[in-house]
Chains A and B, each alone.
Chain A
């Protein structure tokens, strides 16, 4: 696997917000078909890292290679991406956010076909066919003419995933996509993501769902204060952490998870 050229290659990437250095010389390769889960405490830089990959945040320094794109973010570089480069890059990388961000003034179908038609230049009929197929797959075909406010959080997030998939991306980024959902709606979103992973979609996901990371991802990366603390198969990283920091993080997550489910059970017990 490591013999082939990686789909995404990041070298010495740094990002600061004012005086605060959020990412420090990050290097990471992702091969086609890999499902990489990114874990770490809040403030560890994992979301910023994800947002640097499609340049929603512009790195202060470093190199990014993706498919045919090769960007150099060092100050004064000639290979710095232009606005058109960024549009072309983003058209190939799907991203799903914590807060769904569907467009409220468009129907589900219009949400899904907007970018394929106007960014990729897909004929409308073809875009509608594709959207209909994708929506049927997630069981929301009959919601195609509804506005997003008529959908549950889980349904909205699945539509957001479908909206990104309709661009037929080579890589999908998921930024804590289940964090804003009610507990009972998390499952439907995770199972869609698991399906995508099983189909061979290359994915990078920032998540607090450790169980999901362990079962679905092929690789787990632990971010710790702006650097990659550990990187390996989830069975090793999550079951046998090398560092004290990761052990602490995992036990904290576990306790929070237990507390949340105990709270949920208590709520359920009192009608």
Chain B
């Protein structure tokens, strides 16, 4: 095929690919938000004085990290209806991957918290500051800087994991490519195109994080 023929061949699928890429981005952002909620809650629960909360957090992290993400997606999408909870593929996907990523985020936050010297908490307490104030203004801003690289890796994993949602009929990039390939019989071209689109998205994420790190590096 000449270049022009290539272009004409691909042209009809470009809007679909762009839309599917957009969906991957939206999924990723929503999943990251859910994972922060679960992750922060689990990290704080693990550091809590209340034994039950600690145990729940430990169980959550152990279960999620010890089972495949695909099985977790199936439990939420195919399993929960048995309990009377039928979620749309999109919602089930965001929830499942959010819960999955949350366990890793919890461990990242825990490592970040333990990297802050004890003196930071003490010197703040000695000035009459309350725990919530200290967390919000002194500890967490420092934790964010420390965990940014690890959180970026986690976000990139999350983005790539959205391809698992093709198995529960969320028409994101992977499922869109499969659908086209089923009619065109051109797996090589379309899977390469799909891979390139994922690459663009993960590169964007890496750039965004590098920018945030530079912005935060003023006091390092």
Contact = CB atoms under 8 A, between A and B. Distances in A.
Interface stretch (B136-144, B150-158, B189-197): B136-144
B128 A91 contact: yes
B145 A105 contact: yes
A149 B219 contact: yes
A118 B129 contact: yes
Contacts of A99: 117, 119
B42 to A, nearest CB: 25
A148 B126 contact: no
A147 B129 contact: no
B122 A87 contact: no
A154 B129 CA distance: 25
A207 interface: no
Interface string B110-129: 00000001011011111111
A105 B120 CA distance: 11
A250 B129 CA distance: 38
Contacts, number: 69
Nearest to A119: B128
Contact of A56 (B125, B137, B138, B220): B125
B218 A54 contact: no
Contacts of A164: 126-127
A87 B219 contact: no
B219 A105 contact: yes
Interface in A148-198: 148-149, 160, 163-164, 167
Contacts of B66: none
B142 A104 contact: yes
A204 interface: no
B120 A101 contact: yes
A103 B130 contact: no
B219 A163 contact: no
B133 interface: yes
Tell me which of B126, B129, B130, B138 has the highest count of chain A C-beta atoms within 10 A of its own C-beta.
B126
B125 A90 contact: yes
A97 B218 contact: no
Nearest to A150: B219
Contacts of A101: 117, 119-120, 122-123
Interface string A75-112: 00000000100011111111101010111110000000
15 contacts: A89-B128, A90-B125, A90-B126, A91-B127, A97-B122, A101-B119, A101-B122, A103-B142, A105-B219, A115-B127, A118-B129, A119-B133, A120-B128, A149-B220, A164-B126
Interface of B: 117, 119-120, 122-130, 133, 137-138, 141-142, 145, 218-220
Which 4 residue pairs of A and B lie closest in terms of their CB atoms, listed nearest first? A91-B128, A101-B123, A147-B219, A101-B119
